[in-house]
Homo-oligomer: A and B are copies of this chain.
Amino acid sequence: MEQISSKQNKVIKDLKKLSTHKGRKKNSQYVIESWHLVQEAINYLPKDEIIRIYTTDDQYLKHGNDINDFKITLISDEVAQELSDTATTQGIFAVCKIVPVSFDENNLHGAWLLLDYVQDPGNIGTMVRTADAAGFNGVVFGEGTASPYNSKVLRSMQGSQFHIKVVKESLLKVMDAFDAKNFPIYGSELNPEAVNYRSISPANDFALVMGNEGNGMKQELLSKTTKNLYIPITGKSESLNVAIAAAVIMFRIKK
């Protein structure tokens, strides 16, 4: 079994490059961290999409039986911390192949969350996790939305990207597909025509668009929505966090 104990090792330096967009694009690979995510990847990804598992002795002792079918590199605690995106790492990582999921407009059904220029990785990942829990079929990362392979997005998705479809696609194209099927497209922008989200009858097939944290949805998308929803704010707070607003609406309007 391969072993690496130095942070200076070229393999480790190359792995660190996968934390950047450029590095991931060049190699078509990304890194997940923590036993929970590695286990989810093993359960849900085709075997050949998990390229190699990097683990400390400690984690190997705990999970060796579950990972022995894969290529494994044992790493020192120091190397694990170097690879980690967190202050204290568990010590187990998997390098996976980036296999883009395409948006299949011919087989369109279910509830979908569409992200328009949502920027905060934690919010994005949390929305994918919530969409999964609410029974949505997928999440579309539109233009300007942080990458689904960003380490913070991966961490806050908690593996939900393996349960539902996570797609990078033009939102205009996706909205046209919903339109062609006569499925409603709900925006989330407070404007004079917006309706209380509680007035929507729960359904199975629709799209919900969440916009940028500061600026909301782009105008060209707004014009394509069936209705815009708002959440009535009772107190004095000016707005809700975007992941919170998405959750409140998703759990209300999904049948």
Give residues in A with beta carbon < 8 Å to B.
122, 126, 129-136, 156, 158-160, 163-164, 231, 233-241, 243-244, 247-248, 251-252, 254
Selected from B122, B163, B235, B247, the residue in CB contact (under 8 A) with A164 is B235
- How far, in angstroms, from A247 to B132 measured CA to CA in the complex? 17
Write the nearest CB–CB distance from A195 to chain B, whole angstroms: 16
Q: Beyond the given A130-B241, A133-B233, A251-B252, could you list 10 further A-B residue pairs with CB under 8 A, ordered by the A residue number? A: A126-B244, A129-B240, A131-B235, A133-B239, A133-B240, A134-B235, A163-B235, A164-B235, A240-B247, A247-B247
In the bound complex, how far is the Cα of B163 from the Cα of A233, in angstroms? Answer: 13
Q: How many copies does the complex hold?
A: 2
Instruction: Name the residue on B nearest A247 (C-beta).
Output: B244
Task: Give 7 closest A-B pairs by Cβ, nearest first.
Answer: A135-B234, A163-B236, A132-B237, A132-B235, A133-B237, A244-B247, A133-B233
- Which residues of chain B are near A244, meaning CB under 8 Å? 126, 129-130, 243-244, 247
